[in-house]
């Protein structure tokens, strides 16, 4: 499989679709999420990634799933959490990713 780079720009409609998937978006700063993504993580199609996470994992648990995205413009930090409400380790379903932008901009 050959991956071809594609230009992508996050728009407010994408943020709405992310929220409709059930993700809460929390900020430590004043910049809007779409502006943050375009500035700090250009061409990163987060909506596409989250749709893939949903397609691969959601049907594997009957437990409630907590979905959260946190970002901090000052630190160029993005965190995605997709975690079910598990009782034991064997019931746990977690997809947690941290992204940082170290380009200096």
Domains of the chain, with CATH numbers? Answer: 12-100 (3.30.565)
For residue 83, give the 3-state DSSP assignment.
strand
Buried b (16+ CB within 10 A) or exposed e, 71-103: bbbeebbbebbbbbeeeeeeeeeebeeeeebee
**Whose structure tokens read 């996050």?**
10
Condensed to tens digits (0 to 9), the pLDDT of residues 19-33 reads 999 999 999 878 999
Radius of gyration of the chain (CA): 15
Condensed to tens digits (0 to 9), the pLDDT of residues 74-90 reads 889 999 999 999 988 88
Let me know: does 101 contact 41? Beta carbons within 8 Å: yes
Once rounded to an integer, what is the mean pLDDT over residues 37-48?
Answer: 95
């Amino acid at each position: 499989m050959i991956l071809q780079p594609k230009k992508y720009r996050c728009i407010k409609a994408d943020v709405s679709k992310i929220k409709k998937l059930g993700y809460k978006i929390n900020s430590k700063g004043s910049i809007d999420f779409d502006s943050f993504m375009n500035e700090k993580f250009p061409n990163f199609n987060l909506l596409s990634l989250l749709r893939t996470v949903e397609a691969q994992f959601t049907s594997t648990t009957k437990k409630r799933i907590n979905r959260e995205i946190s970002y901090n413009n000052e630190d160029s930090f993005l965190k995605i959490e997709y975690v079910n409400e598990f009782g034991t380790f064997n019931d746990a379903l977690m997809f947690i990713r941290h992204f940082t932008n170290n380009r200096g901009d």
